[in-house]
Amino acid sequence: MDIKDIIKPENLVYQKTSLMTDKPLSYCPGCGHGTAHRILMEVIEEMGIQSETIGVAPVGCSVLAYDFMNVDMVGASHGRAPAVATGIKRCWPEKFVYTYQGDGDLAAIGTAETIHAANRGENITIIFINNGIYGMTGGQMAPTTLPGMKTSTSPYGRDLKSMGNPLKMTELLAQLPGTCYVTRQSVHSPRNVRRAKKAIRAAFESQKENKGLSLVEIVSNCNSGWKMEPVASNEWMVDNMFPFYPLGDIKVDGKLVNNQ
């Protein structure tokens, strides 16, 4: 059978969701942001809540997310997305509100907003992209940078004595009674992408049932910041990031799993 006989509309099995705009993504080649954007939009499409969803994207690589996601978006100051999302959700409790934040945003400058939004049990969903680095500004050290990891501001590797320990924000937030669903996923392989999509779906479902704050951390690569090729950066992530940031559910239905 010729390839032209296969490429027909009736044989279509997968195409980019219409909730992603046709604008080319501004991310580096191989960056996990694009995949995370797409599965988030696929979940919103499957739930049929495009017109009822409001996203908040603060500063970071994903600051231009409003150009790519075809839902209503609000730009927030650096780190303040959970505060802005709180306001939107309290004015409009029937809408779905999510924030899309990086690790420099959520774990550094926005720590207070994130922790207090979680502690108040705001009924929002946080998508947290963790690549252990400030990708947008040139690969500086973030709170989530691994011990010994080289960045542009820790060129000899992160020294725990002078630079402190990496911050596991997701485990920290799971301890708070206001959070309902907390999980850590990744998007580097087809299996992990499908799992991450299920996790985002579960997070939005728990928001629908007013159960409290849901957080999906996505451990991602930053090949430009890590100075690697995309495939090599994914392999480095599996070897180095996952032992420190293990994948899986941390809190389901308000109960901690695996005694974390």
Partner 1 sequence: MAKMKGAIVVDLEKCKGCEVCRVACPNDVIAMTNEVNHKGYHYAYQEHQDACVGCANCAVVCPDGVITVYKVKLSD
Q: Does residue 16 belong to the site contacting partner 1 (CB under 8 A)? A: yes
For residue 238, the 8-state DSSP code is: I
For residue 52, the 8-state DSSP code is: G
Q: Which secondary-structure segment (H or E) carries 231? A: helix 230-236
Instruction: Report whether 180 contacts 170 (CB < 8 A).
Output: no
- Residue 32 or 60: the one with the smaller Cβ distance to partner 1 is 32
Q: Does residue 13 belong to the site contacting partner 1 (CB under 8 A)? A: yes
CB atoms within 10 A of CB 74: 17
- Tokens representing 229 are 């090729």
Residues of span 174-233 touching partner 1 by CB under 8 A: 187-190, 193-194, 229-231
Instruction: Report whether 129 contacts 98 (CB < 8 A).
Output: no
> How wide is the angle at C-alpha 148 spanned by C-alphas 154 and 134, nearest 5°?
50
Residues of span 70-89 touching partner 1 by CB under 8 A: none
In sequence order, the β-bridge partners of residue 179 are 213
Q: Smallest gap, in angstroms, from Cβ of residue 221 to partner 1?
A: 10
Q: Does residue 18 belong to the site contacting partner 1 (CB under 8 A)? A: no
Question: What are the φ/ψ torsions at residue 102 (nearest 5 degrees)?
Answer: -95, 180
- Residue 1 or 91: the one with the smaller Cβ distance to partner 1 is 1
Q: Does residue 8 belong to the site contacting partner 1 (CB under 8 A)? A: yes
Q: Which residue stretch of 18-26, 111-119, 128-136, 140-148 sits at the interface with partner 1 (rule: CB under 8 A)?
A: 18-26
- Residue 132 or 143: the one with the smaller Cβ distance to partner 1 is 132
- Distance (Å, rounded) from C-alpha 83 to C-alpha 74? 12
- Residue 189 or 210: the one with the smaller Cβ distance to partner 1 is 189
Q: Smallest gap, in angstroms, from Cβ of residue 246 to partner 1?
A: 21
- Residue 33 or 168: the one with the smaller Cβ distance to partner 1 is 33
Q: Smallest gap, in angstroms, from Cβ of residue 149 to partner 1?
A: 22
For residue 157, the 8-state DSSP code is: -
* SS3 at position 20: strand
Q: Does residue 32 belong to the site contacting partner 1 (CB under 8 A)? A: yes
| Interacting residue ranges for partner 1, rule: CB under 8 A | 1, 3, 5-8, 11-17, 20, 24-25, 27-35, 38, 187-190, 193-194, 229-231, 234
